[in-house]
């Protein structure tokens, strides 16, 4: 059976070059609704579990291809709808919110930096509960101080900046102008990294963290 796989939405621009194929080498197709464009493919469902990592890479490649040319709002990874008509109806229902957010985010990308304990260099002593708690508190304090330094260094580049605690560490999301990705990386690298910490930068990404709360839930939901 087939399903409509949704990649992303972006504002109609005749100069935007679309990829020919996407997930499972399926043809990438376009739905338009007024100012809005929706990229999608007709794919066989369900996906082969053994191919999910490959499918995820193919999905991100499609989204990144558009991001290099325009602001995009991505759907949740490998979100599918029953068919083209249902996807078109979803896009039409949320077209006003999509369009407003894309206009607001035009010219911006999301850059990220996660700070976490350095593997092999930040050993917690598990034999003593009190000592473990002291070491954990010290590690959290070190991460917090480093994140504060990064925030101060990145403030000049950040149109908006958000911090979120995750299982992998403390993650900074920075909304910055497209074209300033190298400045972001340089700014982070100029902040001295304590020996017991590690950090990892990534991006540019679509500005998904900076979408309005009203749009995040339906945009991410899709319909598996």
- The more confident residue out of 123 and 180 is 180
- Across the chain, mean pLDDT equals 91
Whether residue 221 has pLDDT greater than 50: no
Burial label, 58 (beta-carbon count in 10 A; 0-12, 13-18, 19+): buried
pLDDT-above-70 percentage for the chain = 92
Give 224 or 162, the one with higher predicted confidence: 162
The confidence score (pLDDT) of residue 18 equals: 96
163 to 36, 173, 194: CA distances (angstroms): 30, 6, 19
The pLDDT, as a whole number, for residue 124 is 55
The span from the CA of 10 to the CA of 99, in Å, is 8
Question: Domains in the chain, please, with CATH?
Answer: 2-106 (no CATH), 108-209 (3.30.70.240)
Return the pLDDT at 204.
Answer: 98
Q: Mapping DSSP to helix (H, G, I), strand (E, B) and coil, where does residue 112 land? A: strand
Structure confidence at residue 131 (pLDDT): 81
pLDDT, one tens digit per residue, over 74-83 is: 998 888 999 9
Q: Convert the pLDDT of each residue in 10-64 to its tens digit.
A: 999 989 999 999 999 999 999 999 999 999 999 999 999 999 999 999 999 999 9
Residues 85 and 96: their CA atoms lie apart, in Å, by: 18
- Do β-strands 108-117 and 2-11 pair in parallel, antiparallel, or remain unpaired? unpaired
Q: Looking at the predicted structure, is the pLDDT value of residue 224 above 90?
A: no
Q: Is the pLDDT of residue 220 over 70?
A: no
């Amino acid at each position: 059976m087939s399903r409509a796989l949704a990649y992303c939405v972006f504002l109609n621009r005749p100069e935007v070059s679309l990829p020919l194929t996407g997930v499972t080498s399926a043809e990438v197709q376009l739905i338009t609704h007024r100012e809005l464009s929706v990229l999608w493919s007709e794919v066989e469902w369900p996906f082969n579990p053994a191919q999910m990592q490959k499918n995820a890479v193919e999905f991100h490649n499609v989204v990144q291809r558009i991001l290099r040319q325009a602001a995009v709002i991505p759907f949740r990874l490998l979100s599918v709808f029953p068919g083209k008509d249902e996807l078109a109806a979803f896009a039409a229902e949320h077209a006003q919110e999509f369009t407003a957010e894309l206009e607001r985010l035009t010219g911006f990308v999301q850059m990220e930096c996660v700070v976490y304990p350095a593997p092999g260099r930040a050993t917690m002593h598990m034999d003593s509960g009190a000592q473990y708690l002291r070491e954990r508190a010290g590690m959290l304090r070190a991460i917090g101080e480093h994140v504060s330094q990064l925030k101060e260094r990145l403030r000049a580049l950040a149109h908006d900046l958000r911090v979120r605690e995750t299982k992998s560490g403390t993650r900074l999301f920075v909304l910055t102008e497209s074209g300033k990705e190298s400045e972001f990386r340089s700014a982070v690298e100029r902040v001295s990294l304590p020996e017991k910490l590690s950090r990892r930068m990534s991006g540019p990404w679509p500005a998904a963290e900076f979408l309005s709360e009203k749009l995040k839930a339906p945009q991410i939901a899709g319909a598996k």
